Amino acid sequence: MAEMFRLQGQGTSPGTAFGQIHLAVETEAMFSSQTNPSAERAILLDAVQVSIAALRALAARSPAESAAFLEFQIEMLLDPEITEMAAGRIGSGDGAALAWVTALDDYIAGFEQSDNDDVRARAADVIDIKNRVLAAMTGKSVADFPAGTVFVGKDISPSLFLAHDWSAGGGVVLFKGSAASHVSMLARAKSVPMVIGTGTFNIAGKTQLLLDGGSGCVVLHPSDEELRQALLTPLSMRQSADEGERPCPTAVRTADGAKISLSINVNDLSDLIGVDHAGIAGIGLLRTEFLMSSAADIANEDRQYGIYRQVLEWAGQKPVTIRLLDLGGDKPVPSADKGDWTSFLGLRGIRLLLARPEILRIQARALLRSAIHGKLKVMLPMVTLPSELERTVTIFREESTLLERCRVNHRIPPIGIMVEVPATALMLDTFGAADFFSFGTNDLAQYLTAAARDNAAVADIYTHAAPAIFRLLAHSLQIAANLETPVSVCGDMAGDPECIPGLLGCGLRHFSLAPVQLVAVRSQIAQFNADGTMAVDK
C-alpha cells in the first residue's frame, strides 16, 4: 500500500472531503500549421461565437452571482481586442489554434505577473476562456470530471466549477490559486471544501486524497485512523444529512440557560437554499458587494431593489441586516478605474462610498424602497469616524425626501455600523447615533495584528489575533451596554466553535455565521455557560 503523505496548503473553504483524485491535465491543442488565412480566421471567429453561445446558456441556468462571473467571460469574448490579437498572428502565418493560444498566453501572463491579488485571480477566467474557445475549435467540449472526486490542478476555472455537480461531494486542491479568486468565493458559498497553495506534487495511479479546507491540510493515501479522525472532527462543522432533516431548535441556550440568537451571513441568494427559516433569528449580514459584479449592476437601482426585496420577503418577520457595498481592499471592484481601491488601508467600504456618493445614493434608494417589504436594517462597512455615519444618514434622509416628492413608497430603516476598525472599537462611545453595532472580527484581526487577511505568509500571525480581539471586545461591549445599543458579531469567529467560549465570556449573545456552521455552533453553545466557562455535568 502506498505511503501516507501530508502537505500543507491554505484552506479557503471549510469542510472535509475524501475521494479519488481527478488530476487536471492542461488542455492540449492541435496546432495545425496554416493553409489558408481566411479559413483560419473563420475557424477562430466561429469558435468564439460557439463559446459565447455556450456561456450564455450556462449563465441562463446559473444563480445570479454565478451568472455574473460568466457574463464577465462573455464580455471578454465580445471584446474585439482579443480576437484581433489572435487574428494578427494568423496574418503572420500561424494557424487558428496556435494564434489563439499564443495571443491569450501573453494576455494571461500580464494578469499573472500583477502584484494585485484580484488582478492575478482574473487569470483563471482568461485561462478558462482560452480553453473553451480552443475546445470549440478542436470540436471538444470543456471536460467535466467525475462527480465525487477531488479536483487537483494548477487552477480550476469558474465555469468548470459552476458546471460541475458537487452534490455527490468532492473538493478542490490547487497547486497555486488565490483566496481572493472567484472560485474560492464560489467554493465557500457552495460549501465545497478547498485548499490552495500546496505547490505541485506528484500523483501516481488511482490515488485517494483527504483534504481539510479549514486547516489547509491535504493527505495523500490517508490511513484508516487518519480518515476516522478527520471525519469525526471537521465533519461536525458540516450539516450531515440526518441533522439537516431534524428541525432546528428556535431558541438556542447556553448550558445555564442564557438565550443566544443565531443569524446567518449571506453572500449569494443561493446560500438561502436549504436554510431552515424557523431555526434562525434572521439574516445578520448580507454582503451586497458579492451580489454585484459589474459597474452596470451597481448603477442599477431596480435590480438592487429586486434582490433586497426577495431576501426581505424570504425572511418574513425576521430582521435582515443588509450591508452597504464593501468595495475595495480584497473585495472585487467592478470597474476598470481601480484607483486606490485595492488597498486594505485606503478607500474601502464607507470611505469609498462617501468618495463616490453617486454609488451610495443608488444603493440608498434601492434600500429605502425595499424597506417596506420586511424588517430591514442597514449596516455601514469599515466605519472609522462618527462623521462617516452622520454623512451617510444625511444621504439616506435626502434620498428619502426625493422619493417622497415622487410619491414612491419607502421607509427609513435603522442604520448601524460594522465595528471592524480598532479605532472605532476603542471610541465606540462617540457612535451613539448608530442604531446597532456588529463586530467584524475578520477585519479587526487584520488591523489589530497588522497582518493582511489574504496573505498566506502572515496567516499564522493573523490567526493568533483572538486574545487581542477579546480584550478589545470586552472594552467595546461595556460602552455599548452603557449606550444601550444592541450588539452582534458577524466575523468568522462567530462561526468558529473554538471561539464561542471567548465570545460568550465577553458578553456577546447574538452571532451571525455561515449557514453551514449553525449545527456546530449550536452544539458548542449548549456545552458552555453564559460566562464562557465549560458546563460541568451534574
Binding site for Mg ion (CB under 5 A): 420, 440, 443
Binding-site member from 132, 287, 373, 522 for ligand PEP (CB under 6 A): 287
Query: What are the C-alpha distances in Å from 74 to residues 79, 337, 392, 396, 469?
Result: 9, 20, 36, 36, 43
Residue the block writes with cell 425576521: 318
Provide the residue type at 342 as one letter: T
Please identify, using beta-carbon distances, which residue of 82 and 514 lies nearer to ligand PEP. 514
Cα–Cα distance for residue pair 238/492, rounded to 1 Å: 15
Q: Confirm if 291 and 67 have CB atoms less than 8 A apart.
A: no
CB of 440 to Mg ion, least distance (A): 4
**Grid cell at residue 249:** 431548535
Instruction: Put residue 485 in one of left, alpha, beta given phi > 0 → left and psi -120 to 50 → alpha.
Output: beta
Binding segment for ligand PEP (CB under 6 A), chosen from 126-134, 337-345, 409-417, 436-444, is 436-444
Provide the residue type at 434 as one letter: A
Binding-site member from 197, 234, 440, 495 for ligand PEP (CB under 6 A): 440
Does 490 participate in catalysis according to the annotation? yes
CB of 324 to Mg ion, least distance (A): 12
CB of 355 to ligand PEP, least distance (A): 18
Cα–Cα distance for residue pair 417/438, rounded to 1 Å: 6
Does 499 participate in catalysis according to the annotation? no
CB of 527 to ligand PEP, least distance (A): 25
CB of 149 to ligand PEP, least distance (A): 31
Per the annotation, where are the binding residues for Mg(2+)?
420, 443
DSSP secondary structure letter of residue 166: -
**Grid cell at residue 353:** 462610498
Q: Does 442 bind ligand PEP (CB under 6 A)?
A: yes
Q: Does 326 bind ligand PEP (CB under 6 A)?
A: yes
Residue the block writes with cell 471549510: 14
Q: Where are the beta strands (DSSP E) in 132-207?
A: 150-153, 171-174, 194-196
Which of 248, 490, 499, 506 is flagged as catalytic?
490
Check the CA dihedral 196-287-263-445 and report its sign.
Answer: positive
Per the annotation, where are the binding residues for phosphoenolpyruvate?
287, 323, 442-443, 453
3 state DSSP class of 420: coil
3 state DSSP class of 24: coil
Please identify, using beta-carbon distances, which residue of 74 and 380 lies nearer to Mg ion. 380
Which of 164, 182, 373, 410 is flagged as catalytic?
182
Positions in 474-533 near ligand PEP (CB under 6 A): 490-491
CB of 264 to Mg ion, least distance (A): 17
Binding-site member from 128, 420, 454, 496 for ligand PEP (CB under 6 A): 420
- Report angle CA 506, 188, 242 to the nearest 5 degrees: 80
Q: Does 443 bind ligand PEP (CB under 6 A)?
A: yes
Please identify, using beta-carbon distances, which residue of 19 and 329 lies nearer to ligand PEP. 329
| 287 interface partner picked from ligand PEP, Mg ion, none, CB below 5 to 8 A per type | ligand PEP
Task: Give the contacts of 337 (CB within 8 A, at least 6 positions apart).
Answer: none
Please identify, using beta-carbon distances, which residue of 131 and 441 lies nearer to ligand PEP. 441
**Grid cell at residue 48:** 468564439
Catalytic residue numbers?
182, 490
Q: Which residues bind ligand PEP (CB under 6 A)?
A: 285, 287, 326, 420, 440-443, 490-491
